């Protein structure tokens, strides 16, 4: 069975590969501090089912303790090294199998290898606190190699460290009208795509949360990043297929070497072959 990607909104995705379910940066809340979910219903109960959850960094929209608490007992949880010292709520999640990781680490989960890579992003638990844990990306290696970038800016050795991948889950926006350092917007994400050259890409981290009372402030930063990424990727990485998903949609990206079944014929639009807005 090929890899299957479901985007639940923001940076939360389910990656199913080799019979193993991987959940990225779980965030199931309708509201988080000054942010509210403006698009897409909160993920359903099925989204909390995973063999392993990957946390990219300590910011509360990526390491959300109440969402992690909803994971089933025994779920493996990978967090940046030092996270339990910086986020005391993690220590109360005794029902999870927590492992601290850093770039260069490799963790076996079922039939998958999860390889930890660097990210260029502020890894502190904001709004206060020293820089106690690195920001991370992950490469999930099974029948496919899927790169979850977390939150990151472009960095010099990105392609070298990440290595060859089949699918890239790339952030293309954020939750506010302005992006600071250490983020990819649609243009920088398209540049990253040109460096990484995966077979397929899924834009994430946009069009979900927005500050309360700021709906009319630079609304294009909420609505436009996904379509803008599709347009720019076509110019800068024309050989990469981009799947722009709606919240809760899934796709089975084509992976080199995978022998397709009749149900996977080009143009198929069944539940298991959703192409999103692909080119």
Question: Could you read off the pLDDT tens digit of each residue along the chain, which spans 279 residues?
Answer: 689 999 999 999 999 999 999 999 999 999 999 999 999 999 999 999 999 999 999 999 999 999 999 999 999 999 999 999 999 899 999 999 999 999 999 999 999 999 999 999 876 666 556 657 899 999 999 999 999 999 999 998 999 999 999 999 999 999 887 777 778 999 999 999 999 999 999 999 999 999 999 888 999 899 999 999 999 999 999 999 999 999 999 999 988 764 333 333 333 223 334 444 443
- Total number of residues shown for the chain: 279
The reported pLDDT for the residue numbered 268 is 29
- Tokens 């601290």: give the residue: 100
Give the residue from 207, 167, 194 showing the smallest Cα distance to 35: 207
- Tokens 């909803």: give the residue: 70
Alpha helices (runs of H) in 197-255, residue ranges in sequence order: 220-223, 225-236
The reported pLDDT for the residue numbered 270 is 31
Rounded to two decimals, the pTM is: 0.89
The reported pLDDT for the residue numbered 138 is 98
The reported pLDDT for the residue numbered 89 is 93
The reported pLDDT for the residue numbered 256 is 73
The reported pLDDT for the residue numbered 260 is 36
The reported pLDDT for the residue numbered 128 is 57
Q: Are 51 and 85 in contact (CB under 8 A)?
A: no
Q: Are 135 and 57 in contact (CB under 8 A)?
A: yes
Number of H helices, E strands in the chain: 6, 17
Phi–psi pair at 227, nearest 5 degrees: -65, -35
Q: Are 39 and 224 in contact (CB under 8 A)?
A: no
What the block records as the tokens of 54 is 């990957």
45 Cβ neighbours under 8 A, 6+ residues apart: none
149 Cβ neighbours under 8 A, 6+ residues apart: 56, 119, 137, 168, 169, 170, 171, 184, 192
Q: Are 192 and 170 in contact (CB under 8 A)?
A: yes
Partners of 277 in beta bridges? 244
The reported pLDDT for the residue numbered 249 is 98
Alpha helices (runs of H) in 98-170, residue ranges in sequence order: 158-162
| Dihedral over Cα of 223, 229, 234, 236: its sign | positive
The reported pLDDT for the residue numbered 125 is 67
């Amino acid at each position: 069975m090929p890899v299957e990607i479901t985007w639940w909104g923001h940076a939360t995705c389910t990656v199913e590969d080799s019979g193993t379910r991987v959940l990225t940066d779980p965030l199931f809340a309708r509201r988080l501090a000054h942010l509210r979910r403006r698009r897409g219903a909160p993920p359903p109960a099925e989204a909390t089912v995973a063999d392993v959850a990957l946390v990219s960094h300590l910011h509360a929209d990526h390491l959300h303790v109440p969402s992690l608490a909803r994971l089933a007992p025994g779920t493996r949880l990978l967090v940046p090294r030092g996270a339990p010292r910086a986020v005391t709520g993690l220590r109360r999640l005794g029902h999870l199998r927590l492992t601290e990781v850093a770039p260069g680490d490799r963790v076996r989960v079922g039939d998958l290898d999860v390889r930890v890579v660097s990210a260029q992003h502020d890894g502190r638990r904001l709004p206060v606190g020293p820089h106690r844990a690195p920001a991370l990306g992950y490469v999930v290696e099974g029948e496919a190699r899927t790169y979850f970038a977390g939150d990151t800016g472009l960095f010099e050795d990105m392609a070298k460290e990440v290595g060859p991948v089949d699918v890239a889950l790339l952030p293309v926006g954020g939750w506010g009208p302005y992006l600071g350092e250490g983020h990819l917007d649609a243009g920088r994400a398209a540049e990253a795509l040109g460096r990484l050259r995966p077979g397929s890409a899924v834009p994430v981290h946009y069009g979900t949360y927005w500050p309360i009372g700021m709906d009319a402030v630079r609304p294009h930063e909420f609505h436009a990043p996904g379509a803008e990424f599709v347009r720019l990727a076509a110019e800068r990485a024309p050989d990469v297929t981009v799947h722009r998903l709606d919240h809760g949609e899934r796709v089975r990206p084509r992976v080199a070497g995978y022998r397709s079944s009749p149900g996977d014929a080009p143009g198929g639009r069944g539940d298991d072959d959703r192409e999103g807005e692909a080119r």
